Structure 1
Amino acid sequence: MARGINKVILVGNLGNDPEVKFSQGGMAICTISLATTTVRKDREGNSQEKTEWHRVKLFGKLGEIAGEYLKKGRTVYIEGRIEYGSYDKDGQKHYTTDIIADEMQMLGGGGGAGEGGRGSYEGGGNDVSRGPRNQPAQRREPANAPAPAQIPNDFGGMPDDDIPF
């Protein structure tokens, strides 16, 4: 049986500051509201904008980082999956749609005064990834990080980048 694909990629701006809560086990759960806007032309040639709002949840170390560094207005790249749920309140069934983030990258200067550059922090890259749930987040190395030592492979000691195909 073939497996399906549930993948979401969003680039948008935060509509408010992140809200961070902690589970009973101490895991961070960060919720952000992300706006994405599309522009299209109508029949008369006028530009029509449509803004969609997405509720994004980030867990563990990724949630902690998002809660600390993201602010309202900040542009962010989110990669994850869509998850639907429901709950009963006052006898009525309510439905939810969440994006569960696996990766997050801060883009642009953000909404805060004095912020600049490409949203970097601690003087390095700002790309953050998280593996499967309950695994710690890993910060990807900046582009200018030293390359790892090259180890010969089965192609006569030639590194993969030098293979002519």
Structure 2
Amino acid sequence: MSLNVVTLVGRAGRDPEVKYFESGNVVCNLTLAVNRRTRNSDEPDWFSLEIWGKTAQIAADYVRKGSLIGVSGVLKFDYWQDRGTGVDRSKPVIRVDRLDLLGSRRDQEANASSYGSDEF
């Protein structure tokens, strides 16, 4: 038996980066900061998120830097070769299957006004 499930709650580290493909598919990438409690302070752990399809469009429309969100998905690794050095590189990425917008409507409106958008 194997199991690969990741569930996180945290704040978006930046506005989503969205790409639209000719096929009609959509991908959204963003970072998520999740506080890890330590004895002296809360230190954030940073996660890279990859979201596809309708869920990606929801993230693009409603998530902004600082938004409180919950995600569930699977852990995968992206692999590539560094163009400058030729060194093999990798990074862990959470492929999100479920996105929950956890902030209140007022939080979303505050984020919208601070970023110059009132599309909420």
1:82 maps to which residue? 75
* Equivalent residues of 1:72, 1:111 under 8 A apart: no
The 3-state SS of whatever aligns with 2:24 is coil
Per the TM alignment, residue 51 of structure 1 is displaced from its structure 2 partner at its CA by 1.0
Q: CA RMSD in A?
A: 1.9
**Structure ranking higher in helix proportion:** 2
The structure, 1 or 2, with the larger RCO (C-alpha pairs under 8 Å, 6+ apart) is 2
Unmatched runs of 5 consecutive residues or more in structure 2: 113-119
CA separation in 2, counterparts of 1:54 and 1:80? Answer: 12
* Equivalent residues of 1:71, 1:112 under 8 A apart: no
Q: Kindly tell me the number of residue pairs found equivalent between the two proteins.
A: 109
Percent identical among aligned pairs is: 28
Structure 1 residue runs of 4 or more that deviate by more than 4 Å after TM superposition: none
- TM-score normalized by structure 1? 0.61
CA separation in 1, counterparts of 2:3 and 2:22? Answer: 31
Cα distance change on mapping 1:40 and 1:67 into 2, 3 Å: same
* Matching of residues 13-28 of structure 1 within 5 Å: 13-28=11-26
Per the TM alignment, residue 111 of structure 1 is displaced from its structure 2 partner at its CA by 5.9
Per the TM alignment, residue 89 of structure 1 is displaced from its structure 2 partner at its CA by 2.1
Unmatched runs of 5 consecutive residues or more in structure 1: 42-46, 116-121, 123-165
**Structure ranking higher in strand proportion:** 2
2:110 maps to which residue? 113
Per the TM alignment, residue 88 of structure 1 is displaced from its structure 2 partner at its CA by 0.7
CA separation in 2, counterparts of 1:85 and 1:5? Answer: 19
CA separation in 2, counterparts of 1:100 and 1:51? Answer: 20
Per the TM alignment, residue 25 of structure 1 is displaced from its structure 2 partner at its CA by 1.8
* Equivalent residues of 1:8, 1:79 under 8 A apart: yes
- TM-score normalized by structure 2? 0.82
* Equivalent residues of 1:27, 1:60 under 8 A apart: yes
1:96 matches 2:91: yes
